[in-house]
């Protein structure tokens, strides 16, 4: 297959055209991105037998993403990924109230976060796309005009690289991530319970019943959350109550995680510059749609997310790594997913 980029229409949103851009490399890997939510709709890779398949959960039409928006399929999440307690924080002596998505907190940037907006998109080479969006001062309650640039690159080594960049004109919390649900069987297995996962983390943030960090850092050693040695997702998922945990990385900037599906032979390595990753096993994928009350297209545990991030609720936890971006500073993050077979 020739390296390059193709594009085709993918519907309309807010009276603007949505376009699907597909990156291809000579090895045959393909990544498709749409400018609704800067969403990755397909990651097509080969299994050990040379059969290609889409290793993330997604939809064939824009309507699927809009209707299932509360599950955040494949999109960029922001302005603040994960939870902010009470949908409020204090910054430089001023109290801010942001959009409350659930009664006790704000999740993933509000009712209309970066996952539900139209992004500008352009090809900047035969292997990279740039997507840009400017979040207005006061959007979802957050201060400052925040300009975001995303660069999606596909290498000849089957590595999808996500480079994030953001600048602001007022101090504001920033915590961006991608929310792909991976299923390396490419749909041949209904769940990811048999996937083997290793995470380079020995600790996590303790959380309350609403998954808001208490401020305590706990060791994961000899607990169901211990993934320092590779194990199947299903092994301890029952005592864990499903995984939705902020794992603190031992070596930010290095390898973050490994995922292996023995049946297909697909192997994925993740790298990130972020200090943590949220392991989420699609615990709520089977819930009815929140807006149309229709059944979800997927069952519980159909996919797993590895969301590179800062800690949840950091704006309210001064001892957590700082997430405040100030004028003159540049937010940067690089996260990548590399695919091979074993």
Q: Which residue has the higher pLDDT, 69 or 289?
A: 69
The boundaries of the domain holding residue 333 are: 4-341
263-286 tens-digit pLDDT: 999 999 999 999 999 999 999 998
For the full predicted model, state whether its pTM sits above 0.85. Answer: yes
Q: pLDDT grade, residue 80 (50/70/90)?
A: very high
pLDDT score recorded for residue 296:
63
What share of the chain has pLDDT > 70, as a percent? 97
Phi first, then psi: give them for residue 67, nearest 5 degrees.
-70, -30
pLDDT score recorded for residue 295:
57
Buried b (16+ CB within 10 A) or exposed e, 186-202: beebebbbbbbbbbbbe
Residues marked as catalytic? 179, 307
Question: Is the CB of residue 297 less than 8 Å from the CB of residue 59?
Answer: yes
pLDDT score recorded for residue 286:
85
- Sign of the C-alpha dihedral computed for residues 65, 1, 150 and 260 taken in this order: positive
**Residues 139, 312, 201: CA angle, nearest 5 degrees:** 145
- Confidence check: pLDDT of 232 > 90: yes
pLDDT score recorded for residue 13:
95
Sheet with strand 52-54: strands edge to edge: 4-13, 16-24, 30-34, 39-46, 52-54
Lowest mean pLDDT among 60-69, 166-175, 214-223, 259-268: 60-69
- Taking residues 88-101, report their average pLDDT: 97
Number of domains in the chain: 1
pLDDT score recorded for residue 288:
62
Q: Which of 245, 127, 265 lies closest to 195 in space, CA to CA? A: 265
Question: Is the CB of residue 105 less than 8 Å from the CB of residue 97?
Answer: no
**Residue for token digits 């048999």?**
194
pLDDT score recorded for residue 145:
98
pLDDT score recorded for residue 290:
56
* Domain CATH for 250: 2.70.98.10
CA atoms within 13 A on the CB side of 8: 6
Computed over every residue of the chain, the mean pLDDT equals: 96
Number of residues written out for the chain: 342
125-165 tens-digit pLDDT: 999 999 999 999 999 999 999 999 999 999 999 999 999 99
State whether residue 120 is helix, strand or coil: strand
- Confidence check: pLDDT of 230 > 90: yes
pLDDT score recorded for residue 2:
86
- Confidence check: pLDDT of 294 > 80: no
pLDDT score recorded for residue 1:
79
């Amino acid at each position: 297959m020739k390296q390059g980029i193709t594009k085709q229409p993918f519907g309309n949103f807010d009276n603007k055209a949505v376009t699907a851009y597909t990156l291809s490399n000579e090895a045959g890997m393909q990544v498709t991105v749409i400018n609704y939510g800067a969403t990755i709709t397909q990651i097509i890779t080969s299994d050990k037998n040379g059969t290609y398949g889409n290793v993330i959960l997604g939809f064939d039409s824009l309507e699927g993403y809009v209707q299932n928006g509360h599950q955040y399929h494949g999109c960029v999440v922001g302005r603040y990924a994960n939870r902010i307690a009470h949908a409020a924080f204090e910054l430089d002596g001023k109290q801010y109230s942001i959009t409350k998505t659930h009664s006790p907190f704000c999740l993933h940037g509000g009712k209309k976060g970066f996952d539900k907006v139209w992004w500008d998109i352009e090809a900047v080479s035969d292997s990279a796309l740039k997507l840009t969006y400017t979040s207005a001062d006061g959007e979802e309650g957050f201060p400052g005009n925040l300009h975001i640039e995303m660069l999606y690159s596909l290498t000849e080594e089957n590595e999808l690289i996500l480079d994030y960049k953001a600048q602001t004109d007022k101090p504001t919390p920033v915590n961006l991530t991608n929310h792909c649900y991976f299923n390396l069987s490419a749909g041949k297995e209904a769940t990811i319970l048999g996937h083997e996962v290793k995470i380079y983390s020995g600790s996590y943030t303790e959380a309350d019943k609403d998954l808001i960090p208490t401020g305590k850092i706990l060791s994961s050693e000899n607990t169901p959350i211990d993934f320092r040695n590779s194990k199947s997702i299903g092994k301890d998922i029952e005592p864990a109550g499903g995984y939705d945990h902020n794992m603190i990385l031992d070596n930010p900037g290095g390898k973050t995680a490994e995922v292996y599906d023995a049946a297909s032979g697909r192997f994925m390595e993740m790298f990130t510059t972020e200090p943590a990753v949220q392991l989420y096993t699609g615990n709520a994928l089977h819930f009815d749609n929140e807006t149309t009350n229709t059944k979800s297209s997927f069952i519980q545990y159909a996919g797993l997310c590895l969301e590179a991030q800062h800690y949840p609720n950091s704006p309210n936890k001064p001892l957590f790594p700082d997430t405040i971006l100030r004028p003159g500073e540049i937010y940067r993050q690089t996260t990548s997913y590399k695919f091979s077979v074993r």
